[in-house]
A and B are shown apart, each in its own frame.
Chain A
Amino acid sequence: NAGVTQTPKFRVLKTGQSMTLLCAQDMNHEYMYWYRQDPGMGLRLIHYSVGEGTTAKGEVPDGYNVSRLKKQNFLLGLESAAPSQTSVYFCASSLRTSGPQETQYFGPGTRLLVL
């Protein structure tokens, strides 16, 4: 099993450009998450999904959109990139959100630089 994969691994954008980050998991997990990680701060939740076709806002959703058309994929979109969105983005998935199966499995991360 590949676990959680993310593409691309690294991207440079100019201000105003758009892009989509792809997350895929092969563990049949219901729950998927997009986080951003900035220096000196903990991981912060951008958006999450509780199942195919459903998405919801997390702590820092502004400037991002998401879609989950298939259970195994969770896409994060930046419509008009800003320098403040320079960060490392992690996708994660879990089987449940409580109990022994709430452990989250993380992808390798995408490093995004917005100039």
Chain B
Amino acid sequence: KNEVEQSPQNLTAQEGEFITINCSYSVGISALHWLQQHPGGGIVSLFMLSSGKKKHGRLIATINIQEKHSSLHITASHPRDSAVYICAVRFLLSGSARQLTFGSGTQLTVLP
């Protein structure tokens, strides 16, 4: 079964801390996405990865294809980073739909 697992489910950090959110998947993929869901509900795409590493501001996303694992790092965390972070993958055998399979999300709370 094609599955996406995120850990931890909930994470509380103090402002300034380095944060890591993990995503593991069961079988081969063609792409992995990290998304952010704001407290108001809106969802925005942060990164799309098929290999290696990407960086945008204080956010860094890495992927290890062999280990079927990706991490999202936040450096110098800030209360405005508080959100749900969602991992989604496009499995190689997703058929003609090429649909994404989503993890259940990691709720991050950054305290001032």
A45: nearest residue on chain B (CB-CB)? B99
Cross-chain contact B104 with A42 (CB below 8 angstroms):
yes
Q: Is B42 an interface residue (CB 8 A)?
A: yes
Q: Which of A88, A98, A100 contacts B30 (CB 8 A)?
A: A98
What is the bound-complex CA distance between A2 and B97, given in angstroms? 26
Chain B nearest Cβ from A25, distance in angstroms: 14
Cross-chain contact A98 with B31 (CB below 8 angstroms):
yes
Main SS at interface, chain B: strand
What is the bound-complex CA distance between A26 and B7, given in angstroms? 35
Total residue contacts A-B, CB cutoff 8 A: 54
What is the bound-complex CA distance between A105 and B100, given in angstroms? 13
What is the bound-complex CA distance between A69 and B105, given in angstroms? 33
Question: How many chain B residues have a CB neighbour from A under 8 Å?
Answer: 22
Cross-chain contact A97 with B48 (CB below 8 angstroms):
no
Q: List, in ascending order, chain B residues with CB within 8 A of A100's CB.
A: 48
18 additional contacts, CB 8 Å, given A43-B86, A109-B43?
A42-B4, A42-B104, A43-B88, A43-B100, A45-B99, A48-B97, A48-B99, A58-B97, A90-B43, A98-B90, A102-B48, A104-B33, A104-B45, A104-B100, A106-B42, A106-B43, A108-B41, A109-B41
Residues of A within 8 A of B (CB): 33, 40-45, 48, 56, 58-59, 88, 90, 92, 97-98, 100, 102-106, 108-109
Residues of B within 8 A of A (CB): 4, 30-31, 33, 41-45, 48, 86, 88, 90, 97-105
> Would you give 20 A-B contacts (Cβ < 8 Å), ordered by A?
A33-B99, A42-B86, A42-B102, A42-B104, A43-B100, A43-B102, A44-B102, A45-B100, A48-B99, A56-B97, A58-B97, A58-B99, A88-B41, A92-B43, A97-B98, A102-B90, A103-B33, A106-B44, A108-B41, A109-B43
